[in-house]
Amino acid sequence: MTYYLGYHYGILVVIQFVIKKKGELAAFGKAISIMSIVAILSIGSSASKLWTTYEYTKETMRGPDIEKQIRVQLLMQMLKVAGMGLCNAMEQWVW
């Protein structure tokens, strides 16, 4: 949800930048800098939760699939032992 909120704020910033007049750009710049500082502080305050979620996703079904990588490596080794290349082994499935 925060991801989409960031997109909406980005769109809002662009729209406000286009609408503002030249004399108001200094106030606009101050507001943007304050919003940027607040965004950095908010990400920093929840960094521990974000980091644990990041580490957890490596081991879930959405992260890298270690078992699949092992199965592919075993298949490649079996094909090498049998003297077949991957193209020769899979050629029957193409036609």
Tally: H helices and E strands in the chain: 5, 0
Per-residue model confidence (pLDDT) at position 64: 61
- Spatial CB neighbours of 76, under 8 Å, sequence gap ≥ 6: 86
Task: Indicate the residue type of 75.
Answer: L
Distances in whole angstroms, Cα of residue 25 to Cα of each of 8, 33, 38, 92: 21, 12, 20, 67
For residue 83, the number of C-alpha atoms closer than 13 Å in the C-beta half-sphere is 0
**pLDDT tens, per residue, the chain with 95 residues:** 566 877 888 888 888 888 887 778 888 888 888 988 988 888 888 888 888 888 887 776 665 666 777 777 777 777 676 666 666 656 655 55
Per-residue model confidence (pLDDT) at position 13: 84
d(CA 89, CA 1): 46
Per-residue model confidence (pLDDT) at position 84: 61
